[in-house]
Structure 1
Amino acid sequence: MKKLSSLMLMCVLFAGILAACGTDEGDSSNGADGNDAEKKELVMGTSADYPPFEYIDTAEGDDIIGLDVDIAKAVTEKLGYEFTVKDMDFAGLIQALQSGQVDFVLSAMSATDERKESVDFSEIYYTSKHMIVSQAGSGIESVEDLAGKTVGVQLGSIQESKGDELAEEVDMTIESRNRIPELIQEIKAGRFDAAIIEDTVAQGYFEENEDLDGFTVEDADGGYAIALPKDSELTEEFNGALQEMIDNGELDEIIKKWFEGE
């Protein structure tokens, strides 16, 4: 009798274990279905020190805003994604993309041949020029005037490459910093004689600092594009959305908003 009771008890326990396993499997399946149903979210990498492309207006709040953020919002909405913005130094953006910390980069990044070896780029959405920025009255009015001077550039930027190129023509010292405001402060402090900055970004600093002046040099290599992981399926999706914005005038409206205040 005791043996029979023990056998029945074991059967009950075994049935309970099977039921529990069945419940766990069902819960796991439901969870997977739930995850598939959730809206996809991407992480955008940027360096928020580059108005009007990406920056924080501290008078308005802590959000990163700008032309690139608006483009990211428009593109991701068209493709059915949500996105968040991750701020970091410009020089670390490609590494962050390669390591999977971010899904795409929108940070006024030029699509140079060198960068194309590491990442994919979308179609060009904006072209720019370089500007040599210095203290007003410095006497620096041409590239030749930079001879013997110390010139600042943003680390990892197309302007850093331009600085190295100009240094082969004119004897100057090139020093890099992580952020554009650092370059401006170094000029004001007298540690830099000048800095090479993208022209529309420089214009913003001229409006806020009457003691700064500058002149443009030849067009920057390439143009600004969205950077994505090498061989990413997102590249084709982003290009399709971006081309649609170019064709219907939406991209022009975003650019006018940030450069003309419309």
Structure 2
Amino acid sequence: MKKFLSVALAAVMMLSLAACGSSSNKAESSSEGGSASDKTYIIATDTTFAPFEFTNDKNEFVGIDVDILAAIAKDQGFKYELQSLGFDAAVAALESGQADGTIAGMSITEERQKKYDFSEAYYDSYVCMAVKKGSSIKGYEDLKGKKVAAKTGTQGADCAESLKDKYGFDITYFDDSATMYQDVKTGNTVACFEDQPVMAYGVSQGNGLEIVTEEKDNFSTPYGFAVLKGQNADLLKMFNEGLKNIKANGTYDEIVAKYTSAK
């Protein structure tokens, strides 16, 4: 009876742990090279943040972040499980110890560096504002008395917050880009603040929006892979070494071109 109860308890615990992660979009990678241990690292990421992470028409979870992580893991020989949770949830998983690292188009900022250790930058980005295609909104001056959309915990949200008092608009927050875009298209909000490469990709794919402003000076920041401050130094070191190697051998450029070059 004790043995039966132990097995049953173990099964319940496994189901509970599984429920904490993503229900889909998981991946594992390993390599013959490198010198990593047998540990499988849990890496948290966003759900839809194309071209950095998204599900393609073959129901495969792909993107710049996804492919860079896979290439680095292969180069360094470590195993990982990628959990697609959404940006806010990915950061929460990192802070709670449920994830060892996060790669999710995460901007390296002074504020975040107080809580996380970042890798070397793997992509440079800046913030833009987009509106529904054909909208009368052409700039910040047109936002007075209106609502705009931003994604929780992002540079886009920081940018919107820095402008809202000057231009007299309110902000509605979202957990993912797709829902935010839809809110703008339905007219509940008149504009959204987003990372420029992400919005540019969406526009090229016919998301129904258009870019009207860009913040290249005040909100231009690099993306980095993050671990909790003072933890997983070995993982961070492998990421940096792998990033250096894939840049040197051309793999990095191939990955970026795959998702950003005009078809």
Q: TM-score scaled by structure 1? A: 0.79
2:158 is paired with a residue of what secondary structure? helix
Instruction: Give the distance between the partners of 1:41 and 1:201, measured in 2 at CA.
Output: 29
Instruction: Give the distance between the partners of 1:76 and 1:147, measured in 2 at CA.
Output: 48
Offset of 1:129 from its aligned partner? 2.2
Which of residues 146, 150, 153 in structure 2 aligns to 1:149? 146
Q: In structure 1, what is the equivalent of residue 198 of structure 2?
A: 201
Instruction: Give the distance between the partners of 1:41 and 1:56, measured in 2 at CA.
Output: 23
Q: In structure 1, what is the equivalent of residue 127 of structure 2?
A: 130
Q: In structure 1, what is the equivalent of residue 100 of structure 2?
A: 103
Instruction: Give the distance between the partners of 1:176 and 1:143, measured in 2 at CA.
Output: 18
Q: In structure 2, what is the equivalent of residue 40 of structure 1?
A: 39
- 1:31-69, CA deviations, whole angstroms, 9 ceiling, x for partnerless residues? xxxxxx984321210012111100112x302x3211101
Aligned-partner residue type, residue 71 of structure 1: I
Offset of 1:94 from its aligned partner? 2.2
Which of residues 107, 110, 115 in structure 2 aligns to 1:113? 110
2:68 is paired with a residue of what secondary structure? helix
Instruction: Give the distance between the partners of 1:87 and 1:97, measured in 2 at CA.
Output: 13
Greater gyration radius? 1
Instruction: Give the distance between the partners of 2:204 and 2:77, measured in 1 at CA.
Output: 38
Q: Is the 8 A contact 1:124 1:225 kept in 2?
A: yes
Aligned-partner residue type, residue 51 of structure 2: P
Q: Is the 8 A contact 2:131 2:212 kept in 1?
A: no
Does residue 183 of the first structure (1) align with residue 192 of the second (2)? no
Q: Share of identical aligned residues, percent?
A: 29
What pairs with 1:227-246 in structure 2 (closer than 5 Å)?
227-231=226-230, 232-233=232-233, 234-246=235-247
Q: Is the 8 A contact 1:112 1:221 kept in 2?
A: no
Offset of 1:261 from its aligned partner? 6.0
Q: In structure 2, what is the equivalent of residue 224 of structure 1?
A: 223
Q: Is the 8 A contact 1:42 1:84 kept in 2?
A: yes
Instruction: Give the distance between the partners of 1:134 and 1:56, measured in 2 at CA.
Output: 24
- Give me the CA root mean square deviation: 2.0
Which of residues 207, 212, 216 in structure 2 aligns to 1:215? 212
Aligned residue pair count: 224
Instruction: Give the distance between the partners of 2:236 and 2:49, measured in 1 at CA.
Output: 24
Aligned-partner residue type, residue 88 of structure 2: A
Offset of 1:194 from its aligned partner? 0.6
Q: TM-score scaled by structure 2? A: 0.79
Q: In structure 1, what is the equivalent of residue 25 of structure 2?
A: none
Q: Is the 8 A contact 1:40 1:80 kept in 2?
A: no
What pairs with 1:11-22 in structure 2 (closer than 5 Å)?
none
Instruction: Give the distance between the partners of 1:145 and 1:42, measured in 2 at CA.
Output: 47
Offset of 1:244 from its aligned partner? 2.2
- 1:185-211, CA deviations, whole angstroms, 9 ceiling, x for partnerless residues? 111211001101112221233234374
Q: Which runs of 5+ in 2 are unaligned?
A: 1-35
1:223 is paired with a residue of what secondary structure? strand
Aligned-partner residue type, residue 226 of structure 1: F
Structure-2 change in CA distance of 1:164 and 1:38 (3 Å): closer
Q: In structure 2, what is the equivalent of residue 23 of structure 1?
A: none
Q: In structure 2, what is the equivalent of residue 165 of structure 1?
A: 162
Q: Is the 8 A contact 2:50 2:202 kept in 1?
A: no
